Structure 1
């Protein structure tokens, strides 16, 4: 059984969204944020963690969780590079990490 035709359209829609994202990211490449100190420290710890286990067959939810954990780690990298400390931590986030955090929050609502 072939793929329903709407999935081709969905992939085309995703490509348009990517192109829009490229334009938006070039317009606003960074967002300066205040991140509570405890959350910033947890993000840095995620960046410093070694994930050496091989990736096994995953459910969609497991894949989403692993990718979101990667987003947190990249946010932690931005925090560690900021040189800021205290509570809250001032961090200049790449727009992709800012968007990933907001999207994760939005998905949980």
Structure 2
């Protein structure tokens, strides 16, 4: 399939965004403090505590994306274990920006 001019521009822009992402990945960026409902925080901690050892199954792109998102949830759980502060039904925690971005992207992809 051939891209339209607009689609070709989007593809170029996506490449620039990826280049920025590569640059940001090497930069020391500060954590951002977020708050979340306690139930979601508890689920993230449970994802961190789950034992998912063993070889990876063969997976397609969609399955790889879902595995990556599950790993991001587990890393949020680790952040909560290390530094989460419960407060009246919520939990406050400092998260690296890539974890916040992963959560936002997952939310955008909901049907």
TM-score exceeds 0.5: yes
Residues 29-38 or 83-92, more deviating: 83-92
After superposition, the C-alpha distances for 1:18-74 in whole angstroms (9 at most, x for unaligned) are: 442344985852111111000001001101111023112112221111111001001
2:66 maps to what in 1?
Answer: 65
Q: Which runs of 4+ in 1 moved over 3 A?
A: 10-14, 21-28
- Which residue of 2 is the match for residue 79 of structure 1? 80
Using the alignment, how far apart are the partners of 2:24 and 2:69 within structure 1?
A: 23
Higher alpha-carbon deviation: 96-105 or 48-57: 48-57
Secondary structure, aligned partner of 1:50: coil
- Where structure 2 has 5 or more consecutive residues not aligned to the other structure, the ranges are 1-10
Distance in 2 (alpha carbons) for counterparts of 1:75 and 1:20: 23
Whole-Å separation in 2 of the counterparts to 1:103 and 1:93? 15
TM-score for both structures, normalised by structure 2: 0.74
SS in 1 for 2:44: helix
Q: Residue 90 of structure 1: CA displacement?
A: 0.7
- The TM-score with structure 1 as length reference comes to 0.75
